Structure 1
């Protein structure tokens, strides 16, 4: 029997997943049709059913490394527009605006760093260095696509004409807060402020359950692992790149960034073990929250699940509106609850893992990720598809 559910998304959203997959297939086909043969060799990869192609699909990054695929800067303006049209099919309107903003922040970051960071390429902070790659072809029984660059990683899998996975979904921001004329720009404002508001409402007894650590870990704990497992601790900067640098100076730079981040957090191996990913999760259960706090938790969940196409996001909202579903979700906080201070939080339950970290660059450099501990990359549905194919 075909798999109807993807994590906590109810089967009632099957029509929505078909609608999203159809829009993706149309946009992907149009983009592919605009490319030259040379571009296609970078843009079109093998099927997820091919082991080598699948190994590449499961490699994802959020650092300014080569994410694999065809870079935006290596496309004509028309091709760029078609590429971004495909990206938009995998996101809600608000999420697409956030992703586009994060890409543009590379210009601001370039200025903040004095225009001199290189990362082994002509321009170290480059809004054109976001890569799009397809795995398989639109219309295949199994195909997917990935879009990523610095602080962005979007991963989607389509099986039997349905969008079955939109995670891992990473969005970061550096700077997290930017001065504008007459205001400020904060791409991850909702994800940070709602969580802080929830943390501040916790009473002493609740905080004893919800506090993961008095100080914040220096990055998300799950890192860019293809699968998250019980006991995983924070990955260090050196492990978050595609291979090593040809220039030893860049290796030393990464070492230095990691060393300063660790010194800032003050974490030892014991501290990292304390905030490790665990199953069952750490933190305070929603069943131990009052109604106002539960409302804030639902709002917080929606700032992540709301990244998905509208019909899928609505399915998550419906799911977490149910008392029994929300009761299984845990919230954990580390660090200060004062605005502008380093902090980290985690939201975890069956089928969902959310992490947010804002510690680097004097707590003005944020990382956020939405994952599914059981179904990242659609691996559960893909396994069922393989089993049915073999049986048939």
Structure 2
């Protein structure tokens, strides 16, 4: 389905209204910092790294304004903008990642040397609007911080969610009496799929080397990776459905109309989609996996020697940054 048919004008109108409401709350200096031109440089300035690190783009700060300089009302308006293009489950995942990073800040701050610039937590997440919010012309929403990069290009009724990053550290925490696993579904569904494969399929899926981190993250726009693993053309119907359900954890962060169209495109190319694995096959083991096809690229990687620090990235090889309709 062409990108021009993805999404709805209703979603775009909600996003434009939310963007303008947020901008109206800011002073001139803040607006100039948060509302930047949409171009190749600004759109690619995103990262999985925390504040204080030099990002893969070469920048030392994300686009826009960080939450730490916004009032509570301004923060809520910024989050309303983020929420306007996402699904309820997608927005919940975003908030769970932010809250998890707040837990990390509280845990690490007492032991952190005063000289270090590294910071975690809600105050270190940034909101930016690239281009002028419009129901017809291209523009883009960016929201991100440590372990989160939401990039939503918008053009008329069209909107996409690639490239995007979701990560987690810790991978499980307690918040308001509830146990939260921001990427728990991704983990559990991947292990379920791997264990639903036959021994021969598992052998095909398993990489001959260990993977220390993702290879398709920020700073790797346009790079092509050779597909590896087991091809879904040989999957049973049940295995294909499990693979699609796993992919939906990333695609489904965006609103339902856009996600539905994207999943249909991925399903059309599912026979040419590969599933690769590196690590143990018992849930709870340290394991990397990759899903790669003509219309999707997903990576999931535990960082370090344990399982309490996860990086994941989602890209569309044909449509990162809404390339089909946004010419920059």
What TM-score comes out, normalization by structure 1 length?
Answer: 0.75
- Tell me which residue corresponds to 1:352: 296
- Tell me which residue corresponds to 1:109: 104
Question: 1:256-295 counterparts in 2 under 5 A?
Answer: 277-278=225-226, 281-295=227-241
Question: 1:62-101 counterparts in 2 under 5 A?
Answer: 62-65=48-51, 66-101=61-96
- Tell me which residue corresponds to 2:193: 198
Instruction: Say if 2:2 is the partner of 1:5.
Output: yes
Going by fraction, where is helix more abundant, 1 or 2? 1
**Counterparts of 1:118 and 1:136 in 2: how far apart (Å)?**
39
Change (3 A) 1:183 1:43: closer
Q: Is the 8 A contact 2:48 2:148 kept in 1?
A: yes
Per-residue CA deviation, residues 139-191 of structure 1 (Å, 9 max, x unaligned), is 262211211111110111122x2334321111111001225698632111111
Question: 1:1-392 counterparts in 2 under 5 A?
Answer: 5-6=2-3, 13-14=5-6, 16-46=7-37, 48=38, 53-65=39-51, 66-113=61-108, 115-117=110-112, 124-139=119-134, 141-159=137-155, 161-178=156-173, 184-213=179-208, 215=210, 217-230=211-224, 277-278=225-226, 281-320=227-266, 322=267, 324-360=268-304, 362-383=306-327
For structure 1, the 5+ residue unaligned runs are: 231-276, 387-392
Question: How far does residue 89 in structure 1 lie from its aligned partner after superposition?
Answer: 1.4
Q: Which runs of 4+ in 1 moved over 4 A?
A: 118-123, 179-183
| Secondary structure, aligned partner of 1:354 | strand
For structure 2, the 5+ residue unaligned runs are: 52-60
**Counterparts of 2:113 and 2:166 in 1: how far apart (Å)?**
22
Q: Is the 8 A contact 2:160 2:254 kept in 1?
A: no
| Secondary structure, aligned partner of 1:146 | strand
Per-residue CA deviation, residues 321-346 of structure 1 (Å, 9 max, x unaligned), is x5x43212211111111233221111
* Structure with the greater alpha carbon radius of gyration: 1
Number of equivalences: 318
Question: How far does residue 226 in structure 1 lie from its aligned partner after superposition?
Answer: 5.0
Q: Is the 8 A contact 1:118 1:124 kept in 2?
A: no
| Secondary structure, aligned partner of 1:368 | strand
What TM-score comes out, normalization by structure 2 length?
Answer: 0.89
Change (3 A) 1:179 1:141: closer
